Structure 1
Amino acid sequence: MAGIELIISSICNATFCEVPYNETYKGSGTDPMVEKETNYVNLMKEINGKNLKVTTYNNTPLSGSEFRNGTMVGKGVAFIVMDILRKKFNFTYELVQPKRNYEMGSKMGGDSVIGLLNTSKVDMAAAFLPTLIAYRERVSFSIDLDEGIWVMMLKRPKESAAGSGLLAPFNELVWYLVLAAVLTFGPCITFFTRVRSKLITDDEGVLPLKPSFWFVYSAFLKQGTNLAPEANTTRVLFVTWWLFMILLSAFYTANLTAFLTLSKFTLAIEYPRDLYQKNYRWIASAGSSVEHVVKSEGEELYYLSAMISNNKAQFLSVISDTDFLGIVKKGAVLVKEQTVVDHLMYNDYTSKKDVEESEKCTYVVAPNAFMKKQRAFAYPVGSKLKSLFDPVLTQIFQSGILDFLKRADLPSTKICPLDLQSKDRKLRNSDLIMTYLVMVAGSATAVAVFAAEIFIKRYVSGKIIKNKKAKRKKSKMTKKSTSYDDSRPPPYDSLFGKNPRFNVETTRTKIINGREYYVFETASGEKKLIPARAPSSFLYRSDK
């Protein structure tokens, strides 16, 4: 039977349907069900034709007030529910506004909704108030009407928080590990070759640190090397580094392509703790439940109270919620109920008629909630209206009328989602900003190294370096005059007697395979051939 009653109550309009009671319990006057029904009927007669004092606060579209024909009347979802109750129980109501647009203010009583209820200046509050413990100590709540979700709205950033295009494929830890590998693998090669040279005596010596480092760096950039290791140990080390770089570059290229084409847009603010850790400025309504939760010691979000002292967290009193948008455009994060934020974003979206579609979504909502609290109407402590209105409010809640009313003016699709599903993904300057940084950093490093070399060679070493240079020049001159690499061909001017190092028999030529050659003897007595034809002789210029 309970399931049938639930279906009937969902279909039935609470304005016309009476509260169902089981007729089988109408026998004994001492039966609790009969007594409960009697009390309920007496309350209906007591409130019939009575004028109630109702308070609320501006929280569009959930609740609010406006002047109609010179009279202050309520508006929003809360007063649609009030109209259902008014028609059901035949009463009228007078709207009493608090001095400030606060849920709970000071102990004065008249400056907030909770204060008016606590001092019994009104009969009820037609507003969706969170059922906080501090509120329960001052007022009596109806049944839970819905679960309020507070979200964080911020200005839509131009680029994803995943980072610039070149750094996005890997997170920070991977980049640090790659940098550590580049800096440490070169010394590892030098260390292993040094240990091997001490244990095994062969032709391969120790690879110094400088060539090893430049091999690692050049392989990192997919360049070759002039090092030719002969030992198997060194070859394995070289192959290991090359395989590492092949796999790393393959993963990087694939992820970079995916990021530039299919990447999901992410925000820097996703959880309430991000506001504290990244020191973001955020705002909320003054006197709201957000302010109470943040300032109350023992609450889950109490750690955010430390941001109030440095003005990173502010609670503002505004006439309309649209006044928050100007502050959000300047970089602040707005904490507000999800229903209110959805209406703010939708109204801002529809107001931009002559703007491109991609530019209409100015704001975006963080993917995770700031907090969640149950919400309900409120009465003074001990009020009889709670037992009278709760059965009807239960039917309204179970029928889903509240969920429908809260989104009646909104489209069925999500408003300005995080990922706009843009198909024309073009590379922006922000995607290539890392390339510019690499160029600037590399140029600055080259200038710094150049300046260091000049300083060391000219001012640190001084005369010692000059003496070494002089000796080095003398040794080079002597070596140059006495030795010559026979593997290279002689200069062509030696054929005409300009170079005394070569003994060339200018009158003696030989025809080999149809080509004419000059015959000359090297310093060691070995005879070699020089092509005599003009096209071939150009290969043996004097500058060679």
Structure 2
Amino acid sequence: MPNTTFTYPYEGYCMDIISELAMAMNFTINMTGGSPDNEWGVDNGNGTWSGLIGMLQREEVDLVAGPLTTIIAREKVMDFTFPFYHDFLSVLIKKPDPSLTKWRTMIDPFRWEVLLCIGISLVGASVILFLLEKWNPFYQREPYLNRYAGTHIFQDAFWYMFGAMLTQGGEHLPDSQAGRTMISTWWLFSIIMAATYSGNLIAFLTVTKDTAPFETLDQLIDNGDYTWGLLGGSNNQMEFENSKIPVFQKAWKGILETADPDALSLDHEVHLAKVNVGDYGYISDRGGLQKRVLTDCDLYLLPEKISPINYALALQNGSAYTEIFSKEMMAIYESGLLQIWQRQWWKQKKFCRGPLQTEAKPIDLVDVQSSFYLIGVGLFLAAIALVIERCMLRFCKCRTSSSRRENVVQKPKELQNGHAHKPVENGIHNGIQNGHVRSEIYSSVRKQNGHTPFEEIEIVSNGHMVPDVNGNGVIDSVFDYDTEYVRTSL
């Protein structure tokens, strides 16, 4: 390359442009490196600028060859040539680990709106079936009277409808035409839902689908789990700091609230390292970020194009070479060299590590972990149901025992020798003696064919059964409250 000298071995898109300009315009290149403060250039607030723009303002360099964004504030202290690149701001994040969401594989085939509608339909259909069976005149005749189980009981109706949704059905099938019509439509609905769910579940288990947690900068800010940053000392910092756009204001406020010193780091690699750690979004030019995505398959570039930006070469303010450089840049643009260099440095084909041929993916334990969680949920609900049933049974037994004591043990009408006695009625004498309930049964005992007949008597007591047959045919017994009847030989 004639008439050019290099003090540093630089290469890249901008170096291709400046080398072409040097060859076409016959000037020598003397590279001085970057600015002492490693900044692109921001307004210091007192009329001076930092970074490369400050070097131009102080006339320390003649030209800046780099991706400098063209903005009105900078044009007050420097001149821009014809833009050589058009780009947008975007956000780079790391793809979330798909294993973190595998616990919900069982519910992922349907969106939450579909699951909610299915749950409401199940409860509503169970109630309708219960009412159709409960008040149907079809069952007001034999042999359907006094049915102890069936869909006329809500519990049985619900479990039948739930079993039908799992394409299994239930034990109790309605006999009325209204109930069977309802069941038929529910079965059609259940078959469609089951087939759709099964097909999607297979796809979720066999195909790994990387889904971004958000698609826009506004969603990133509202996510709550992510922090974000941008390149300090650049136009991006100035744009977000002074912008009147609500989203940009929220983003800048979030950067200040995080108090992260690296959120405005001057080093591009620091931001990329934070992105690789995870839960961090890096706001920068889309072209540079896309180049990194092409070489790292764990990174994801949000599809939103936030703000348009133009890159151009910069010269000293009022330079006589500004128009000459602009015309030459237009000639390079029209020749198609810019597009050729872009394809050279931004390769569009993405290649990720992995097998070149399609292989069958084995199902890992992490893929089906939700099934085991489902078993745990079922055991927990079953334990709760067991506790509730035992409590209800104990409550019912207490009520039954209290009712029997009230019916059998009555207030004594006579007191004799400190004991309560009730007159004999129908050959039965009930009283309280020595703290026990005493039942006396007077009956005649007749033996038939050498056997003693049995009589069924009601027992109510709080002790143990101690039968005592005396010569008068009286049986004195102390019984358990929980025993209802006993057959006793007389």
Same fold (TM over 0.5): yes
Cα distance, 1:249–1:270 mapped onto 2, change above 3 Å: same
Instruction: From 78, 85, 90, give the equivalent of 2:21.
Output: 85
What residue ranges of structure 2 are gaps of 5+ in the alignment?
146-150, 407-452, 454-490
Q: What secondary structure is seen at the aligned counterpart in 1 of 2:368?
A: helix
The aligned residue for residue 281 of structure 2 is 333
Cα deviation code 1:41-73 (max 9, x no counterpart):
xxxxxxxx9x9xxxxxxxxxxxxxxx97xx567
Deviation at 1:393, TM superposition (A): 0.5
Deviation at 1:162, TM superposition (A): 8.3
Cα distance, 1:131–1:176 mapped onto 2, change above 3 Å: farther
The aligned residue for residue 254 of structure 1 is 199
Note if contact 1:161-1:266 (Cα within 8 Å) is conserved in structure 2: no
The aligned residue for residue 148 of structure 1 is 87
Deviation at 1:409, TM superposition (A): 4.9
The aligned residue for residue 305 of structure 1 is 252
AA in 2 matched with 1:101: N
Q: What secondary structure is seen at the aligned counterpart in 1 of 2:344?
A: coil
The aligned residue for residue 5 of structure 1 is none
The aligned residue for residue 227 of structure 2 is 281
Q: What secondary structure is seen at the aligned counterpart in 1 of 2:98?
A: coil
Q: What secondary structure is seen at the aligned counterpart in 2 of 1:167?
A: coil
Cα distance, 1:421–1:139 mapped onto 2, change above 3 Å: farther
Note if contact 1:160-1:267 (Cα within 8 Å) is conserved in structure 2: no
2:155 maps to 1:210: yes
Instruction: From 51, 70, 75, give the equivalent of 1:112.
Output: 51
For 2:232 and 2:51, locate their aligned partners in 1 and report how far apart those are by CA, in whole Å: 11
Question: TM-score, normalization: structure 2?
Answer: 0.67
Deviation at 1:420, TM superposition (A): 9.6
For 1:183 and 1:329, locate their aligned partners in 2 and report how far apart those are by CA, in whole Å: 47
- Residue identity over aligned pairs, in percent, reads 21
Note if contact 1:98-1:116 (Cα within 8 Å) is conserved in structure 2: yes
2:327 maps to 1:391: yes
Deviation at 1:183, TM superposition (A): 2.5
Note if contact 1:103-1:112 (Cα within 8 Å) is conserved in structure 2: yes
For 1:389 and 1:243, locate their aligned partners in 2 and report how far apart those are by CA, in whole Å: 74
For 1:469 and 1:426, locate their aligned partners in 2 and report how far apart those are by CA, in whole Å: 65
2:120 maps to 1:180: yes
Note if contact 1:96-1:122 (Cα within 8 Å) is conserved in structure 2: no
Note if contact 1:162-1:168 (Cα within 8 Å) is conserved in structure 2: no
For 1:442 and 1:469, locate their aligned partners in 2 and report how far apart those are by CA, in whole Å: 39
For 1:155 and 1:469, locate their aligned partners in 2 and report how far apart those are by CA, in whole Å: 73
Pairwise mapping of residues 286-297 of structure 1 onto structure 2 (< 5 A)?
A: 286-297=232-243
Note if contact 2:12-2:345 (Cα within 8 Å) is conserved in structure 1: no
2:398 maps to 1:463: yes
Q: What secondary structure is seen at the aligned counterpart in 2 of 1:315?
A: helix
Note if contact 1:160-1:266 (Cα within 8 Å) is conserved in structure 2: no
Cα deviation code 1:263-301 (max 9, x no counterpart):
643222333233123222233321234333333332374
Q: What secondary structure is seen at the aligned counterpart in 1 of 2:67?
A: strand
Cα distance, 1:282–1:208 mapped onto 2, change above 3 Å: same
For 1:267 and 1:98, locate their aligned partners in 2 and report how far apart those are by CA, in whole Å: 37
Note if contact 1:151-1:338 (Cα within 8 Å) is conserved in structure 2: yes
Cα distance, 1:190–1:137 mapped onto 2, change above 3 Å: farther
2:66 maps to 1:127: yes
Note if contact 1:190-1:207 (Cα within 8 Å) is conserved in structure 2: yes
AA in 1 matched with 2:129: I
For 2:241 and 2:354, locate their aligned partners in 1 and report how far apart those are by CA, in whole Å: 30
Note if contact 1:154-1:365 (Cα within 8 Å) is conserved in structure 2: yes
Cα deviation code 1:430-475 (max 9, x no counterpart):
32122122112112222222233344554x668325557999xxxx
For 2:355 and 2:238, locate their aligned partners in 1 and report how far apart those are by CA, in whole Å: 33
Note if contact 2:85-2:311 (Cα within 8 Å) is conserved in structure 1: yes
Q: What secondary structure is seen at the aligned counterpart in 1 of 2:258?
A: coil
Q: What secondary structure is seen at the aligned counterpart in 2 of 1:148?
A: strand
Q: What secondary structure is seen at the aligned counterpart in 2 of 1:308?
A: helix
The aligned residue for residue 171 of structure 1 is 111
Cα deviation code 1:77-102 (max 9, x no counterpart):
22332222233333345536333333
Deviation at 1:225, TM superposition (A): 1.7
Deviation at 1:217, TM superposition (A): 1.7
2:189 maps to 1:244: yes
Deviation at 1:304, TM superposition (A): 2.4
Deviation at 1:187, TM superposition (A): 1.6
Instruction: From 334, 340, 345, give the equivalent of 1:404.
Output: 340
Cα deviation code 1:7-59 (max 9, x no counterpart):
xxxxxxxx99xxxxxxxxxxxxxxxxxxxxxxxxxxxxxxxx9x9xxxxxxxx
Instruction: From 335, 360, 367, give the equivalent of 1:431.
Output: 367
What residue ranges of structure 1 are gaps of 5+ in the alignment?
1-14, 17-48, 52-66, 350-360, 472-499, 501-544
Instruction: From 161, 172, 176, give the equivalent of 1:227.
Output: 172
Pick which of 241-250 and 187-196 moved more.
187-196
Deviation at 1:235, TM superposition (A): 1.3
Q: What secondary structure is seen at the aligned counterpart in 2 of 1:91?
A: coil
AA in 2 matched with 1:168: D
Deviation at 1:246, TM superposition (A): 0.5
AA in 2 matched with 1:218: G
Q: What secondary structure is seen at the aligned counterpart in 2 of 1:378?
A: strand
The aligned residue for residue 64 of structure 1 is none
For 2:401 and 2:84, locate their aligned partners in 1 and report how far apart those are by CA, in whole Å: 90
Cα distance, 1:451–1:322 mapped onto 2, change above 3 Å: same
For 1:323 and 1:106, locate their aligned partners in 2 and report how far apart those are by CA, in whole Å: 23
Note if contact 1:281-1:312 (Cα within 8 Å) is conserved in structure 2: no
Instruction: From 316, 335, 347, give the equivalent of 2:264.
Output: 316
Pick which of 433-442 and 206-215 moved more.
206-215
Q: What secondary structure is seen at the aligned counterpart in 2 of 1:125?
A: strand
Deviation at 1:381, TM superposition (A): 4.4
Note if contact 1:82-1:126 (Cα within 8 Å) is conserved in structure 2: yes
The aligned residue for residue 536 of structure 1 is none
For 1:243 and 1:469, locate their aligned partners in 2 and report how far apart those are by CA, in whole Å: 51
For 2:185 and 2:405, locate their aligned partners in 1 and report how far apart those are by CA, in whole Å: 44
Instruction: From 102, 106, 109, give the equivalent of 2:39.
Output: 102
Q: What secondary structure is seen at the aligned counterpart in 1 of 2:164?
A: helix
The aligned residue for residue 506 of structure 1 is none
AA in 1 matched with 2:98: E
